[in-house]
Amino acid sequence: MNVRSVVMFLLLEGIAIFGVSLSAPAQVAAPPARESAASKEAARGEAAAPSRFSKIQHVIWIMQENHSFDNYFGTYPGADGPPPTTCLPTKPGSKRCVAPFHMPKGAPACDLMHYWEVAHAGYNNGAMDGFVWAEGTPYTMGYYDQRDIPNYWQYARHYTLADRFFSSLNGPSGPNHVYTVAAQSGGLTVNAFTLEQVEDVLDDPDGFSFASMVNLFQKTNVSWKYYLETQPLPPGQKKIGINLYYPNPKEYSIWNPLPGFKAVRDNPEAMKHLVDLQDFYRDLREGTLPDVTWIVPMLRDSEHPPQPPAEGMWYVTSLVNAVMESPSWKNSVIFLTWDDYGGFYDHVEPPTVDAFGYGPRVPAVIISPYAKPGYISHYPYDFTSVLKFIEERWNLSHLTARDDRANDLSDVFNFDQSPNPPHVIPIPGHLDKTTIEPFCEYKSTVPLPFPVQPSKIGLPVPH
């Protein structure tokens, strides 16, 4: 596919006037004060963290790709799934409709579109009934359940599921990944696949020139790393320019946005924190896991259609098992989320908090000794809620109005409960690893108003 571009010429300070405050989450009981004065934070001379979050010393954010909440957990008992009468029209005004159905094995064979324009067509002014004709395929109504993704359902049963967790922007992967590190996308609403495209679309020679979480970490002693799964380029094969098949932690991609920030890529010390995923396993073994970590897959393990969800599930399971089998488990939280809805139907209208979002709900599972077991949280969250949790845990300032007003996920924790034991899921001895090619996507049934493309066109790629 070609890069779709729409540039929102809005000043970030101006955006704030369109924001609406979210209701504050219920506060959990404060845990007892730490007995030891020689805690890691005190040893580094940090300001004391709010007592309600002080038992968490490691935030591990695993980001997967392109599934809506209804697509993965719409049939989960007790969660807010589609009403039984749900049936979406095949065309605007048509009496023919498609009801939700269990996804057939091997489907979908292509990617579902989730550009800004397609996402808003599916949203249809809040009616949430335009997905079938906007996506151009009934597969938007397909869903998976415990037969397909049993490990994810097990995590939800043992820990906490959030059924009001929204993507930050009503559009594709790239801008949403920027939200995960900066609480904004700088007005970017499209996938800019190269740094040159970022500069072109935003009309900014610096690329992303606004602040990110790295700026906050550099002002404190909060340690961090951005882990990226990689694989070697086969001999004789040319590297694909989008950096998703054979990614490099030091190179910008739509799933690895930090090198797009001038303040990061021009800072050798900051760039040292962008590392290969193998470092994650080593850090767990050696007891050097940072305070805050992001973990992003390569395409093969991303669950991005048409990649099989099960392959990504086992990749995530290996990550979770590694945490649970390490000393770090006792004071960690794993936030497992997906970056956007991926073109799949979700029936809940996203709240309008500003000109860019929210977007449709995405799955979110919170795994921790202190996550409420078997609990479903109904508070509204988005990716900036994870940033809000990090900011409150380490007494950091906020970046934008988004993270300032976000709910902080305190509802999912009970720090007075007996800690949950680790739930290690055995991994089969042999798992197939395949990257499905060539890439294809379904096309909208009706014409949509795609805008002019940026001057530097990208390759046909996943998004």
Confidence band for 434, pLDDT divided at 50, 70 and 90: confident
Taking the C-alpha atoms of residue 150 and residue 76, their distance in angstroms, rounded to an integer, is 11
Asked if pLDDT for residue 11 goes beyond 60, the answer is: no
Asked if pLDDT for residue 80 goes beyond 50, the answer is: yes
DSSP per-residue codes, 311-339: HHHHHHHHHHHHHHTSGGGGGEEEEEEES
Q: Among 23-32, 55-64, 116-125, 164-173, whose mean pLDDT is lowest?
A: 23-32
pLDDT digits (tens, 9 = 90+) for 247-301: 999 999 999 999 999 999 999 999 999 999 999 999 999 999 999 999 999 999 9
Confidence at residue 218, expressed as pLDDT on a 0 to 100 scale:
94
Confidence at residue 9, expressed as pLDDT on a 0 to 100 scale:
30
Could you tell me where the DSSP H helices lie in 365-408? 383-393, 401-405
Confidence band for 51, pLDDT divided at 50, 70 and 90: low
Confidence at residue 183, expressed as pLDDT on a 0 to 100 scale:
98
* Dmax (CA) of the chain: 68
Q: What is the mean pLDDT of residues 87-100?
A: 96
Asked if pLDDT for residue 37 goes beyond 50, the answer is: no
DSSP for residue 230:
-
Confidence band for 450, pLDDT divided at 50, 70 and 90: low
Q: What is the mean pLDDT of residues 122-135?
A: 97
DSSP for residue 165:
B
Which residue has better confidence, 414 or 438? 414
Q: What is the mean pLDDT of residues 110-116?
A: 95
Q: What is the mean pLDDT of residues 442-455?
A: 68
* SS3 (DSSP) at 412: helix
Confidence band for 315, pLDDT divided at 50, 70 and 90: very high
CA geometry: angle 11, 12, 14, nearest 5 deg: 65
Name the strand (E) or helix (H) holding 447: none
Taking the C-alpha atoms of residue 115 and residue 176, their distance in angstroms, rounded to an integer, is 12
Nearest to 152 by CA among 351, 408, 425, 388: 425
| C-alpha 192 chain-centroid distance | 17
Asked if pLDDT for residue 215 goes beyond 60, the answer is: yes
- φ, ψ of residue 180 to 5 degrees: the values are -70, -15
User: Which residue reads 């969250």 in tokens?
Assistant: 381
Confidence at residue 459, expressed as pLDDT on a 0 to 100 scale:
38
Taking the C-alpha atoms of residue 162 and residue 99, their distance in angstroms, rounded to an integer, is 24
Confidence band for 240, pLDDT divided at 50, 70 and 90: low
Taking the C-alpha atoms of residue 105 and residue 98, their distance in angstroms, rounded to an integer, is 19
Confidence at residue 430, expressed as pLDDT on a 0 to 100 scale:
82
Q: Among 310-314, 337-341, 347-351, 436-440, whose mean pLDDT is lowest?
A: 436-440
Asked if pLDDT for residue 342 goes beyond 70, the answer is: yes
Per the CB < 8 A criterion, the answer to whether 203 and 389 are in contact is: no
Confidence at residue 23, expressed as pLDDT on a 0 to 100 scale:
35
Confidence band for 114, pLDDT divided at 50, 70 and 90: very high
- Count of C-beta atoms within a 10 Å radius of residue 309: 19
- Cα torsion angle, 200, 202, 203, 207, sign: negative
Q: What is the pTM of this model?
A: 0.87
Q: For the sheet containing 274-276, what is the strand order?
A: 274-276, 224-228, 292-296, 58-64, 332-338, 364-367, 160-162, 375-377
End-to-end CA distance of the chain: 9
Per the CB < 8 A criterion, the answer to whether 215 and 208 are in contact is: no
Taking the C-alpha atoms of residue 337 and residue 65, their distance in angstroms, rounded to an integer, is 8
Asked if pLDDT for residue 405 goes beyond 80, the answer is: yes
Asked if pLDDT for residue 387 goes beyond 50, the answer is: yes
Percentage, residues of the chain above pLDDT 90: 78
Confidence at residue 216, expressed as pLDDT on a 0 to 100 scale:
98
Q: Return the structure tokens found at 378.
A: 């109904």
- Name, in order, each residue with C-beta under 8 angstroms of 152's C-beta and a sequence gap of 6 or more: 72, 73, 313, 316, 336, 363, 365
pLDDT digits (tens, 9 = 90+) for 343-383: 999 999 999 999 999 999 999 999 999 999 999 999 999 99
Confidence band for 1, pLDDT divided at 50, 70 and 90: very low
Look up residue 12 and give its amino acid. L
- Name, in order, each residue with C-beta under 8 angstroms of 32's C-beta and a sequence gap of 6 or more: none
Q: What is the mean pLDDT of residues 236-244?
A: 73
Q: What is the mean pLDDT of residues 79-106?
A: 97
Confidence at residue 235, expressed as pLDDT on a 0 to 100 scale:
86
Q: Return the structure tokens found at 216.
A: 């906050």
Asked if pLDDT for residue 460 goes beyond 70, the answer is: no
Q: Return the structure tokens found at 336.
A: 């497992």
Q: How far is CA 177 from CA 18, 261, 269, 275, 445, in A?
A: 22, 13, 22, 17, 28
DSSP per-residue codes, 41-86: HHHTTPPPPPGGGTT--EEEEEEE-S--HHHHHTTSTTS----TT-
Per the CB < 8 A criterion, the answer to whether 8 and 187 are in contact is: yes
**Residue 255: Cβ-neighbour burial (10 angstroms; 0-12, 13-18, 19+):** buried
pLDDT digits (tens, 9 = 90+) for 176-214: 999 999 999 999 999 999 999 999 999 999 999 999 999
Confidence at residue 232, expressed as pLDDT on a 0 to 100 scale:
86
User: Which residue reads 């499905």 in tokens?
Assistant: 436
